[in-house]
Amino acid sequence: MADRMELINQMTSHVVSAAASGTWVLGDLTVNRMGFGAMRLTGSSAFHEGTPSDRGRAVAVLRRAVELGVDHIDTAAFYFSRLRSANELINSALAPYADGLVVTTKVGPARDACGGWAESARPDQLRGQVEENLRQLGRDHLDVVNFRITGRQESISEHFGALSELRDAGLIRHLGISNARHEHLVQAEAIAPVVCVQNRYGIDAPDRAGMLRACAERGIAFVPFFSIAGEGCEAGAVRAERDGVLAVAGAHGVSPAQVRLAWILRQGSHVLAIPGTGNPEHLVDNVAAGALRLTRDDLLLLDSIGGPAS
């Protein structure tokens, strides 16, 4: 019995907390830089219909994430499939919510009851989307709401203005933008404070909009999505892994996903990670990336990666 307890203690002692990634402040909300994205729990996204995680396992993954120190969870009411709703899973797993747990959601895109994508919400429809997130999550306010920009939308001023009014009304605490260009950030900042920008970014997904630096200059969190999936995007990490990533992973004895996440976190103290998974083992592996220290040679090799895989 004593030997078994010692083994359990050894296993537990090697589990890394999200606190190892360091912290950042979203407005007045301090979070660990390693967070969690809930989209993959549903098995559905904009371009991919996959297999949703088993409900019990999804709930367990969310609870385990919080146990591991994750205090920043990214979700949206439009993260749902015919079997799963990300917001409902979060509510079931985590309500009543712990003090300090920050739930970030998104509005803008719209889906019908069958899951089909409809026209994005007009400014006057955003209140309904905010209220739907509140209802599904069982909250009286939303910590952070990102306006998710779709297509080639030029101006977001009316939409962001509508969200700013909801912030003033107490339904939203802080605001951000997603899938944004520099001009969108300028437009939003003219209306209300912006605490984060969510854009696609990763080792092989360059920051073409220049938002990484723009956010650093303003003290705004930059939150990449699809940072593990790379070219696989919503379908997951389905592409062949890069040789450079594999080489660094082998040198450290870690997974390629850890290398990708550690690289993301090295891009600036303002950069947050929100990897998603329905697999408890992958969750532990992802969180451990916050403690992975890449060498200068590692970074040079990883920085040299770009363009489509050969």
Q: Which residues are catalytic?
A: 79
Report how far Cα 249 is from the mean position of its chain's Cα atoms. Answer: 23
| Single-letter amino acid code for the residue at 159 | H
Structure tokens at 102: 């920050």
Instruction: Evaluate whether 103 touches 143 at the Cβ level (below 8 Å).
Output: yes
DSSP for the chain reads -HHHHHHHHHHHHTPPPGGGG-EEEETTEEEESB-EE-GGGTTB-SS-B-PPPPHHHHHHHHHHHHHTT--EEE--TT-B-SS-BHHHHHHHHHPSPPTT-EEEEEES-EE-TTS-EEPPPPGGGHHHHHHHHHHHHT-SSEEEEEEE--TT----HHHHHHHHHHHHTTSEEEEEEES--HHHHHHHHTTS---EEEEE-BTTB--TT-HHHHHHHHT-EEEEESTTTGGGGGG-S-SPPPHHHHHHHHHHT--HHHHHHHHHHTT-TTB-B----S-HHHHHHHHHGGG----HHHHHHHHT--SS--
| Single-letter amino acid code for the residue at 285 | D
